[in-house]
A and B are shown apart, each in its own frame.
Chain A
Amino acid sequence: SQTIHQWPATLVQPVGSPLSLECTVEGTSNPNLYWYRQAAGRGLQLLFYSVGIGQISSEVPQNLSASRPQDRQFILSSKKLLLSDSGFYLCACDRDSGSPLHFGNGTRLTVT
């Protein structure tokens, strides 16, 4: 079965500092990979998805970027964090449109 590793679990960063969140997947090959953000009282918002190495699609304009340097590695980055980047970031994967999403345990980011 698929396992998603995300780190760190929590992160506190000052405004203007860079960000790098990493996600790795075990137990499957060539997965679709996703970054979501979950704000309090709101549903999950899709930020980026990737169907293969080096292929990134962005759903919303933002201060963040994503990269997929390896088949099972997905990275979320920012050059300069904003206060509005605070939230709970979740990495997820699936194989096709009929299969369930598997989520990591998330990173709680607080920008101060």
Chain B
Amino acid sequence: KNQVEQSPQSLIILEGKNCTLQCNYTVSPFSNLRWYKQDTGRGPVSLTIMTFSENTKSNGRYTATLDADTKQSSLHITASQLSDSASYICVVSPGMYSGGGADGLTFGKGTHLIIQP
């Protein structure tokens, strides 16, 4: 069964500090891995999409890494800001879909990050 496990479930850090969120998956075959940021009461917003051949991808203060051999990904946030408070969701896509593009996605439950001033 395809699964995506995220850790920690929740995290509290002080503003200005760095943090790393983890994502382990068992999805096979693998096509790409996505990180989304979801503010409270809003829809998720895409941060990065990484394919099998990519090890690192950055988007501003967000850097995602992928180890396709160990099936692990991390999202590193540098110099955290209050606006980084949100849930971060890891989503894994298999190699083949049965229909529409996203019907085969497996979602993690997310890490709830709180940045304290």
A residues within 8 Å of B by Cβ?
A: 4, 32-34, 41-44, 46, 49-51, 57, 59, 90, 92, 94-106, 108
CB<8 Å pairs between A and B, sample of 10: A33-B100, A41-B109, A43-B107, A46-B102, A51-B100, A57-B99, A57-B103, A98-B101, A101-B46, A104-B43
- Taking a contact as CB atoms under 8 Å apart, the answer to whether B103 and A42 are in contact is no
Q: Could you tell me the distance between the alpha carbons of A106 and B87 in the complex, rounded to whole angstroms? A: 15
Q: A49-B99, A90-B44 are in contact. List 20 more A-B contacts (CB 8 A).
A: A32-B101, A43-B4, A43-B110, A44-B89, A46-B102, A51-B100, A57-B100, A57-B103, A59-B103, A90-B43, A92-B102, A97-B31, A97-B93, A98-B49, A102-B46, A103-B44, A105-B42, A106-B41, A106-B42, A108-B41
Among A44, A46, A49, A103, residue most surrounded by chain B Cβ atoms (within 10 Å): A44
Q: Could you tell me the distance between the alpha carbons of A94 and B105 in the complex, rounded to whole angstroms? A: 12
- Taking a contact as CB atoms under 8 Å apart, the answer to whether B43 and A94 are in contact is no
Closest A-B pairs by Cβ, 5 of them: A103-B43, A100-B46, A32-B100, A43-B107, A97-B101
Q: Which residues from chain A contact B89 at a C-beta distance below 8 Å?
A: 43-44
State whether A100 and B100 are in contact (beta carbons under 8 Å apart), knowing that A43-B107, A46-B105, A92-B43 are contacts in the complex: no
Q: Could you tell me the distance between the alpha carbons of A93 and B8 in the complex, rounded to whole angstroms? A: 29
Q: Could you tell me the distance between the alpha carbons of A43 and B36 in the complex, rounded to whole angstroms? A: 12
State whether A97 and B110 are in contact (beta carbons under 8 Å apart), knowing that A103-B43, A106-B41 are contacts in the complex: no
A33: nearest chain-B partner, CB-CB: B100
Cβ-neighbour of A100 out of B49, B97, B109 (below 8 A):
B49
Q: Which residues from chain B contact A42 at a C-beta distance below 8 Å?
A: 109
Among A49, A51, A90, A100, residue most surrounded by chain B Cβ atoms (within 10 Å): A100
Q: Which residues from chain A contact B49 at a C-beta distance below 8 Å?
A: 98, 100
- Taking a contact as CB atoms under 8 Å apart, the answer to whether A100 and B43 are in contact is no
Contact with A along B20-34 (1 / 0, CB 8 A): 000000000001101
